[in-house]
Amino acid sequence: MHYPNTPSSSGSGSGSSHRSRVPQAPNAPYMNPRDLPPSPQTPSTVLSGRGLPPSTPYMHSVGLPTPPAQYVSHGLMTPPTTPVRPRGSGAATQMHALLSVQPPLYFDISRSPEEIQVYAPRSSRSLSESATQPGTTCVVINVIDVFAIQVRAQPGASVTVAEVLSHLAHGMARQAEQHEISCFPPAVQDHVIARCQISVHGRKSSFIKRVDLLGPRVIFAGLEVTNVAAGVVYCDVRLLARGSR
């Protein structure tokens, strides 16, 4: 067996061809020197799907999955925009014709429910009919993702059309809470505060109703069912600006 040259084994006068031999043990087999196999070369370009060995499958690129609809984020909307929310599991529940999209009535939610105008072929008697089909004992109305109004039926009865409209009008006539007001941009807040200022014992104060924050979009344009869970019907209200219909 041969070892590579080292500084101590290369004499200055013996030349580069002279190598010292290492004595072998008695009866030891003689090993012929063999060169090491060449190192594999790393390709200089990225391999594509072509030219790969037959046993190597080609992997196509796959896009990341879209997050489920229930995790989609819906930012707070400011008037005059009404948000469009993903539909839930309430497809089997239908709203009464007077509460459906583009209903045959005129109702300004900033006014008293007694001022509702019902158009033919419906009559005011329809207001006493069940608000949903099938009937339910509770309806929750979402208003622009800021306000939630709950309507509960009388014991042993279903929620009626009149109860939905009345609760919507009275619920939006309530004084707005500070956390509700803060959902709107500062410019909207300043405008509403200046418009709703009143004088109480010589001091100016602002009594802001929820409906004041809606701007001109106060015309009821129907309810859309978004979900039904545990007997509760959840829906979004659609609003139009005054003079748009």
What is the number of other CB atoms lying within 10 angstroms of the CB of residue 141?
20
Q: Which residues pair with 178 in a beta bridge?
A: none
| Residue-wise pLDDT tens digits, 125-143 | 999 999 999 999 999 999 9
> Does 64 have pLDDT greater than 60?
no
- pTM (global) more than 0.75: no
Q: What mean pLDDT is reported for the chain?
A: 75
pLDDT computed for residue 180 by the predictor = 96
pLDDT at 121: 87
pLDDT of residue 144: 96
pLDDT (mean) for 155-181? 95
Q: From CA 98, how far away is CA 111, in angstroms rounded? A: 18
The more confident residue out of 201 and 90 is: 201
Residue 140 CB partners (closer than 8 Å, separation 6+): 148, 149, 150, 151, 232, 233, 234, 235
The more confident residue out of 91 and 55 is 91
Task: Check if the beta carbon of residue 149 is closer than 8 Å to that of residue 234.
Answer: no
**pLDDT value, residue 81:** 42
Q: What mean pLDDT is predicted for residues 165-188? A: 95
pLDDT at 28 over 70: no
Q: List the domain boundaries for the chain.
A: 78-174+215-241
Q: Fill in the DSSP letter of residue 30.
A: P
